[in-house]
Amino acid sequence: MLRFILHYGIHILVPIGIALVFYPDKRIKASLILLAGFLLDVDHLWAEPIFDPNRCSIGYHLLHSYLAIALYTGLLIWKPLRIVGIAFLIHMVADAVDCLFILD
C-alpha cells in the first residue's frame, strides 16, 4: 500500500506540485506536460509480461535504460525541452522508488 501511494504520488502529485511552484502562470499546460511523463511506460508493451510487479523497470525497459536517463538529464540543459526532461526524470524517480520495494 505504501509502495502504491509513493509510486502514484510521485507520478501525479510531484508533476502538479512542480507546475504550481515553478510555472505559476502556465500551471495547466506545465501540469499536462509533466503528467505526460507517464507515456514513457509505452516501452512496457514490448516486455513479456507487460506488467510485472516484481520487475524493476529502471535499466530493464528501453526508455528506462541508463542511457535514456542520461539523455533525459541532457534535456535539462536546453530550456525549451527542460520541462520534458523534468517530466521524464520524475517518472524515473517514481519507478526507482518502486524498485526499492522489490529489493526488500
List of residues contacting Zn ion (CB under 5 A): 41, 57, 95
Q: Compute the distance between CA of residue 57 and CA of residue 63 in angstroms, rounded to an integer.
A: 9
- Whether the CB-CB separation of 76 and 92 falls below 8 Å is answered with no
Q: Which residue is nearest to Zn ion (CB)?
A: 95
Shortest spacing between CB 16 and Zn ion, in angstroms: 18
Q: Among residues 6 and 23, whose Cβ is nearest to Zn ion? A: 6
Query: In this structure, how many other beta carbons lie within 10 angstroms of the beta carbon of residue 34?
Result: 26
- Whichever of 28 and 45 has its CB closer to Zn ion, that residue is 45
* 41 vs 89 by CB, closer to Zn ion: 41
| C-alpha–C-alpha distance, residues 98 and 64, integer Å | 13
